[in-house]
Structure 1
Amino acid sequence: MSLDIDHLRQWIGREDQAHEVLSSTLAQRLYATLDREGPTEDGADAPLLTHHCLCQPLVSTAELGPDGHPKRGGFLPPVPLPRRMWAGGALQFHSAPRVGEDITRQSVIEDVTMKSGRSGALCFVAVRHNFSSPRGPILSERQDIVYREATPSGTAAKPTPAPHGEERREISASPAFLFRYSALTFNSHRIHYDLPYAMDEEFYPGLVVHGPLQAMLLAQYAADLMGRTPSSFSFRSMAPIFGGGSFFLHAQKQGDDLKLWTAAPDGPMAMEAQARWD
């Protein structure tokens, strides 16, 4: 498939904005979904990466594409490649969002580039999100979205199992867990809750564990291990993890920082991340 990259690059600089109150109910639902406990009264710090549940684009059901994503050509460029995933990102934390605050998201398309991979053409869209509250900046996030061809998975060599970290935590990737996270983030991509679609249309062996969910779990794990929020956090998706079983969060000290990754039992490294403290 040929892409008019010059046309797609005309979206660079396009902006979008939204705001939403971080309600106590949202914080309670997120804690329940993650099997965690924490304060949810007004003024309490919300869990790390709660902003992924806030200020999501509001698109009517009739405007969704066959994969469940909003149809393209609005804020995001109309990339004709059919498959879309969150390839990675980087976050700088300034302060924690607080329950009861009106949170504002300001977004801009920073870049649109083309590459070639094993599955064919790849189109990367880099989006910058800045979140703030009446107190000032909360965080800045670069989101890397990749679009690719709809290519069935071929027979690949058995991947090298991921190493075990000094610390690790088991996570149950039940369908209910994935569905709840999709609901909290207003994410209707069908690979996360519609098993026939995930297998028959996108050629996966099962439901796909969300990349942002893995990033949230790793960031919170890093804060749990170190007892404080990192100043920055970056992550990169390397391979999918599928629901129905368990996977592990791994962590390894690197000086004053942490290297983190996710992996299914005996599976390859699925997401790698770095948490840093200034």
Structure 2
Amino acid sequence: MTATDTHAAWKGRREEAEDTLSADTAARLAATLDHPPAPTDVAPLLAHWLCFPPRAPHSELGPDGHPRRGGFLPPVRLPRRMWAGGALRFMAPLRTGVPVRRTSILADVRESEGRSGPLVFVTVDHKLRQEGAPVLTERQDLVYRGAPVTPPAARERAPEDTPPPGLWQRALVPDPVLLFRYSALTFNAHRIHYDRPYACEEEGYPGLVVHGPLTATLLLDLYLRRRPGARVTGFRFRGVRPAFDGRELTLHATPTGTGADLYAADDRGRTVMSAEVDAV
């Protein structure tokens, strides 16, 4: 059986899980985003990413800190895994202290060839419910890549068009403390986010990698800071390239008739992530 056949056999797999987001954990996310304490039983948007953390025993983690391949996700042998993007629809607020049920389906597995070698794309669909009522749906796109074979500088992409500056902007420098706090909130042991020697020497990055979900959360947070009363109904994001600690990250948002167009840019002005918000 070929690797392609093995991966295809994982399509359609289904998983059920239940968790409860505490008000304290939601407050810690708000603190990480630099928001003042605001007691409420409604969690911030995207706080559901703090639910359902991986619970693999320490002895079952791979060399990158992720749970070993297999189980629900296919046993892709390519060593580097990144969250490439996703799309969400929000039907109701996520409430703290109320059990949330997640149904996950492995919707697609496909192989491709990129500039740096083979790629495997995995798409997972999630549905979250509380007390039987839908809260949100989500599509997650994961990408697996091979080990680096050339120095990072040699792998830089050709110059690209940079979007115009957003009407709203926020600049910050992600530091190891921010990355640590988000890793702790999500129980994410992926070493590229906190182990600098591993990130640089094993995976060929120039620094610690900023979590894709953290960048997405910061982009949506920028919109909500400017439109605090908006009811967000949808959010889509796509990772373009990694962002790294110690380098300025600029968040941009431009309101539209139905929400906003957003993007994050690195210290060289290159797009790190693009996103769209739907709101009423």
TM category (shorter chain) comes to over 0.9
| 1:95–1:138 CA contact under 8 A, matched in 2 | yes
Distance in 2 (CA, whole Å) between partners of 1:68 and 1:179 is 14
Which runs of 5 or more residues in structure 1 are unaligned?
none
Identify which range, 164-173 or 78-87, moves more after superposition: 164-173
User: In the comparison of the two structures, how many residue pairs are matched?
Assistant: 275
Q: 1:33 to 1:233 in 2, by over 3 A?
A: same
| Preserved contact between residue 222 and residue 230 of structure 1 (Cα < 8 Å) | no
Of 127, 145, 154, 2:124 maps to 127
Letter in 2 for 1:14: R
- Name the CA shift for 1:139/1:157 in 2 (closer, same or farther; >3 Å): closer
For residue 58 of structure 2, the aligned residue among 47, 51, 61 is 61
TM-superposed deviation, 1:57:
2.6
Q: Equivalent residue for 1:13?
A: 12
The one-letter code of the counterpart of 2:232 is: P
Q: 1:254 aligns with which of 256, 267, 271?
A: 256
Match in the other structure for 2:147: 150
Q: Following the alignment from structure 2 to structure 1, what is the Cα–Cα distance between the partners of residues 157 and 23?
A: 47
Distance 1:221 1:3, change over 3 A: farther
The answer (yes or no) to whether the contact 1:20–1:103 under 8 Å persists in 2 is: yes
The residue aligned with 1:116 is 113
User: What is the CA distance between 1:134 and its match in structure 2?
Assistant: 1.1
Same amino acid, percent of matched pairs: 47
C-alpha separation between the residues in 1 aligned to 2:153 and 2:222?
A: 34
Matching residue within 88, 92, 114 for 2:85 = 88
Supply the RMSD in Å over aligned alpha carbons. Answer: 1.8
Confirm or deny: 8 A CA contact 1:262 1:272 kept in the other structure.
yes
Counterpart of 1:276 in structure 2 is 278
With 13-22 and 136-145 compared, the bigger mean Cα shift is at 13-22
Question: What is the CA-CA distance between 1:266 and the residue it aligns to?
Answer: 2.8
Moved more, 251-260 or 173-182: 251-260
> Does the residue aligned with 1:276 lie in a helix, a strand or coil?
strand
> Matches of 2:243 and 2:268 in 1, distance apart?
12
Deviation at 1:154, TM superposition (A): 4.5
User: Aligned-pair distance for 1:4?
Assistant: 1.6
Give the equivalent residue in structure 2 for 1:26.
Answer: 25
Give the Cα–Cα distance (whole angstroms) in 1 for the partners of residues 153 and 246 of structure 2. Answer: 22
Secondary structure in 2 matching 1:235:
strand
Q: Deviations over 1:190-233 (max 9, x none)?
A: 00000010000000000010000111111222233233132111
**Which deviates further from its counterpart, 29-38 or 113-122?**
29-38
The answer for the alignment partner of 1:216 in structure 2 is: 217
Contact 1:178 1:193 in 2 (8 A): yes
Q: In the superposition, relative to structure 1, how do residues 246 and 229 fare at CA in structure 2: closer, same or farther (>3 Å)?
A: farther
1:242 aligns with 2:239: no
Which residue of structure 2 lines up, in the alignment, with residue 46 of structure 1? 43
Kept after mapping to 1: 8 A contact 2:247/2:267: no
What SS class does the counterpart of residue 11 from structure 1 fall into?
coil
Report the CA distance between 1:157 and its aligned residue.
5.7
User: How far apart are the structure 2 equivalents of 1:195 and 1:229?
Assistant: 39
How far did residue 162 of structure 1 move?
A: 5.4
Secondary structure of 2:7's counterpart equals helix
Once residues 62 and 195 of structure 1 are traced to their aligned partners in structure 2, the CA distance between those partners, rounded to angstroms, is 22
Deviates more, 1:249-258 or 1:229-238: 249-258
Q: Is the 8 A contact 2:16 2:102 kept in 1?
A: yes
Pair 1:189-2:190 in alignment: yes
CA contact (8 A) 1:17 1:106 kept: yes
Q: How far apart are residue 163 of structure 1 and its match?
A: 3.6
Aligned residue for 1:204, secondary structure, equals coil
1:231 alignment partner, SS class: strand
| Cα distance in 2 for residues equivalent to 1:139 and 1:266 | 35
